[in-house]
Structure 1
Amino acid sequence: MDIKKKLEYQSNYWYNDGLKRAQIQDMTGAIASLRRSLQYSQSNITARNLLGLLLYGRGEVAEALVQWIISRNFQASGNIAEYYIQKVQSSKSELEVINQVVKKYNQCLQYCSQGGEDLAIIQLKKVVTEHPSFLKAYQLLGLLYLHTEQYGKARQVLRKAHRLDTTDPITLSYLHELNRAQKKKAVSIKEGKEQPAVSYKLGNETIIQPAQGVRENSPMFTIVNIAIGILVGAAVMWFLIMPAVNQSKSQEANESIVEASDQIATQKSEISALKKELEGYRTKSDEAQTAKETAKSTQSSYEALLDVTTKYAAGTESNQNLASTLLSINKDSLGEDGKAQYDKLADSIFPSVCRRQYNRGIASFDVKNYDTAVEALAMVVKMDEEYDDGNAMYVLAQAYEATGDTNNAKTYYQKVTEQFSGTEMAEEAQSKLEALNAAADQNAANQNAAADQNGQGAEDSSSQEQDTTE
């Protein structure tokens, strides 16, 4: 038997083992056997399709889709994996629910790391309701119930997890810990109910009496002790405390008169000092507010930079969205390391985004879709003002002029003339800038003339009315 047949034999052997385990709800063992089967033969699509079904049954939809897609790549036609993929993808609402469920589950993990077990429990209840086969959610919910000593609820949740996978080691370890904790609690309750006996000597003999008798007589002893305490307290107050209180009141009255005189004498100086102190506090308050706003801006910038770094490494976000986030960061609020990381990300992300947005902006400008051209080219210029030797900035100025936004058009025409002086493009930008300025001056002159004419007309009308009255 050659090596290829041996590998196929081993792969089929472990597939059959996985199938047997799946039939008795041994999902963990079945998944392990099927993965081992695929180690011997990656192209065993039967094993891979079954593995995808088991993962889907445990609520791991994304991993199931990965297995089915790989299976389809090995055999495109006559593969039941195609049916599974279409079945999942055809229900967009189900995919959206699963996506939201996974996000909520990840949020619960954050709650747990921050000590928010109550919030995590509430969220996980919604997760298992929306996705009843999500094994990991049941396990985490059972663990939280176990941690908060809600043993009844923990057992109910872990039993559901056990029904999904009868041999999952995590579920089994939680059930073992639950049984141990319940036994420990039962023992502590039983020990707490036992009452120590009371012993005393009578002559040469030691008498041992249960504590129950003492508890039965304890209310009477308590009442007697309270009565005696009240009588002793009243006597002490009448004979010792009251004379001292009267003397203290007289002394306090004399001292208050002296203090009032001193306060009146120093009132003006204290008011002046308080005014100066108040001004100092106001100054410090303004400085503290400024520092607080700076710290908030710095925190927001670092959080956004960390978010871009994470998403870029994971490849879960488009470069255009990452570029938009980078452009929103206040780079000046970052430290040296932060600026270095910003520049590193910008060098990796901006070039491709600039190329796509520049092509989009030029195409939109050519078909006179000036608003879209402004949107795309403005983003390009923010990333690189000198892109395409300044042509991006020059076309942006023209797009602004076409939309009637002459202020921005003048701004970018002026930048082109300053940054690319000596070029034909700079000369054209200067001509357009002079034309816009001339048009603005002419418009202002026309408005002034119209205002003067309206004023003169009003004066003539007033004079005519005065003559008629006379």
Structure 2
Amino acid sequence: MICYQCGMDAGKEEFCPGCHADLRIFRKIEHISNAYYNDGLQKANVRNLSGAVISLKQSLKFNKYNTDARNLLGLIYYEMGEVVEALSEWVISKNYQQQDNRASGYLDAIQKNRSTLENINQTIKKYNQALAYCHNGSRDLAVIQLRKVLNMNPNMLRAQQLLALLYMEDEKYDQAKKTLRAAGKIDTDNTTTLRYLKEVNARLKEKNTGKKKKDDDLISYQSGNETIIMPKRFKESSIGSTLIYILIGLVVGVAVTAFLIVPGVKAGFQAESKKQQLEATDTINTNNQTIESLNKQISDMQAQLDSAQSNQDEVQTQINSYEGLLNAYVTFTGGDVLAAGDALAAVDSSKLSESAQGVYNTIKDQVDQKYKETLYNTGYSAYSKGDYETAINDLKKITDMDEAYSDGSAAYYLAQSYRKSGDTESAKPYYQYIIDNYPDTERASTARSYVDAQQ
């Protein structure tokens, strides 16, 4: 088991051998997360996708690093037609686990297929356009858009439910029921689908009851192999009345044709023309919305990537600090003061636990003075021998820690080493430090002459 605090492999220990963190509660949390994951997996196997989503979200609530649960949640979103949510879960999963992660394969399969990406973008755009038509009261255009969406992505559950709702508004209950049954095959226990289906069945029952009442006014009898259906009250007409009825029917037919059918045909042509114009406008809007949607998705995914990378960098910094502290302790106990000092310089004490900071402070108090003394001796010796590169390396470490060390001697010989190695620009700040802080010394006079010469 990996320690949540320092990142060390703790095995089956109850306390981390590195930072002594209590891992018992963390193990319980991990077991709860796995239990919710198993529950979600069982529900997904019987296509209870809504229930599986709830269980997997609970699993991630207890352990956000459970990549198996996150990958399965992405697959369920993808199966329900929620592609953007699926991609988001896989991107987060990939950032939490870089190696041996199935999410990498899922993302590559989608990103390498340009037609799939384009199909996803068009589906989202058309669904949003259908919502806009619904808000504007254009239900017929919304139905057209949703049919296009389902042709492109038959598993988009939200589109199935919205289309069924529009059919119910138009009292097309048979079509609504067919659509809801298709939605039920995607997610068997979706609450919204079941609620709509219950309402449709109730409406169909009322409609069938009304038909039966009308059928009570008819009678039927058998004539040979044929069944004759006729009204209960039937009066046989004479030839004269029959002719009159025929003439009245012709007159009414001509009138209906002149005043109803012809204007209706004209209105139909006009409506069709308007619909084609709206579809052309919709195509233009589609391209603009596609670009906008893609830009937003890129921004959201980049923000998620940055957040995940920041968390990963924070953990890595903490691990490096503990490694540096361990190296400092080992080298210090072995008597290598220089190596211990270099290791301590790489430790960020703010990332350590309280007990680890105590170890850090103890080692630092004992190492610092010997470290600076050893560096000064090796640096001055190298300067005396003309090895200015080594002198600069050792003396620079001292001045970074304590510029006033040995009454400014380290800063003075560092400036001399820079000057004699030909780097007068780097020497100047240290000469100026000697002039400002030790003005009445011989070194200050020497430093002033070199600064004046440079100017």
TM-score range, shorter chain: 0.3 to 0.5
Higher relative contact order (CA 8 A, sep 6+): 2
Judging by fraction of residues, say which structure has more helix.
1
TM-score of the two chains, using structure 1 as the length reference: 0.43
Q: Provide TM-score, normalisation by structure 2.
A: 0.45
